[in-house]
């Protein structure tokens, strides 16, 4: 007879749902700023957050903030938060950070990129296409920064 407990230990990683959680666009200086001929400067920031929702269920959100400026005036500011609900079970604890910081954002990011480009275009501007992101490199950089900060904290005690 097969041991049924071993089947309960099978790693599970499934997408439950992907969704647009928040989206906003502001054009505080329109219409005057639209007459400017100067090319705007573009600032793009990304943020990732992961939170448990229930046993083995996690919400992971990737937020993009795109702001364009001419001199000291905002042309437009777009913020989009793309969410995903993932079932993650029987994964070793030391691998959970990578799942939440790399695997889930890689799945969510293409939807975020599309929504950002669409929202900007609907605002009357040429779409801004967010570049591809290497979430593994981003995660590893955050891990090494956290390690350096904790080592620094230990040295000052």
Q: What is the pLDDT of residues 104-125, one digit of tens each?
A: 999 999 999 999 999 999 999 9
Q: Is residue 150 part of a domain?
A: no
In this prediction, residues 136-152 reach a mean pLDDT of 85
What distances in angstroms separate CA 59 from CA 1, 37, 65, 88, 142, one per listed residue? 38, 42, 19, 10, 20
Mean pLDDT of the chain: 90
Residue 93, classed as helix, strand or coil, is helix
Asked if residue 80 lies in contact with residue 116, where contact means CB atoms within 8 angstroms, the answer is yes
155 located within any domain? no
Residue in the block written with tokens 């275009």:
121
Would you place residue 143 in the very low, low, confident or very high pLDDT band (cuts 50, 70, 90)? confident
The verdict on residue 28 lying in a domain is yes
Q: How many Cβ atoms from other residues are within 10 Å of residue 64's Cβ?
A: 21
pLDDT(2) > 80: no
Residue 91 forms part of a structural domain: yes
Query: In the structure encoding, which two tokens stand for residue 121, read together?
Result: 């275009």
In a domain, 115, yes or no: yes
Global pTM reads 0.85
pLDDT in tens, 24-46: 999 999 999 888 889 999 999 99
Highest mean pLDDT of the ranges 56-65, 123-132, 133-142 = 56-65
Tell me, yes or no, whether 3 lies in a domain: no
Task: Quote the tokens at residue 119.
Answer: 């929202």
Q: Are 57 and 89 in contact (CB under 8 A)?
A: no
**Can you give the CATH number for the domain in which 105 is found?**
3.10.420.10
**pLDDT category, 157, cuts 50, 70, 90?**
very low
Give me the pLDDT at residue 92, please: 93
* Tokens found for residue 26: 């502001």
Range of the domain at 81: 11-128
Number of independent structural domains in the chain? 1
- Residue 100 tokens read as 């939440």
Per-residue model confidence (pLDDT) at position 1? 46
Residue pLDDT, tens place only, 68-85: 999 999 999 999 999 999
């Amino acid at each position: 007879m097969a041991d049924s407990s071993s089947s309960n230990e099978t790693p599970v990683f499934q997408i439950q749902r992907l969704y647009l959680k928040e989206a906003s666009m502001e054009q505080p200086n329109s219409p005057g700023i639209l007459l400017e001929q100067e090319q705007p400067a573009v600032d793009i920031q990304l943020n990732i957050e992961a939170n448990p929702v229930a046993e083995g269920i996690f919400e992971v959100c990737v937020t993009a903030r795109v702001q364009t400026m001419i001199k000291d005036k905002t042309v437009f500011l777009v913020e989009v938060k793309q969410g995903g609900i993932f079932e993650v079970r029987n994964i070793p604890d030391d691998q959970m950070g990578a799942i939440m910081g790399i695997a889930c954002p890689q799945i969510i990011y293409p939807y975020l990129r599309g929504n950002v480009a669409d929202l900007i275009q609907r605002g009357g501007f040429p779409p801004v296409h967010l570049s591809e992101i290497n979430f593994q490199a981003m995660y590893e950089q955050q891990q090494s920064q956290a390690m350096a900060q904790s080592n620094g904290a230990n040295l000052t005690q």
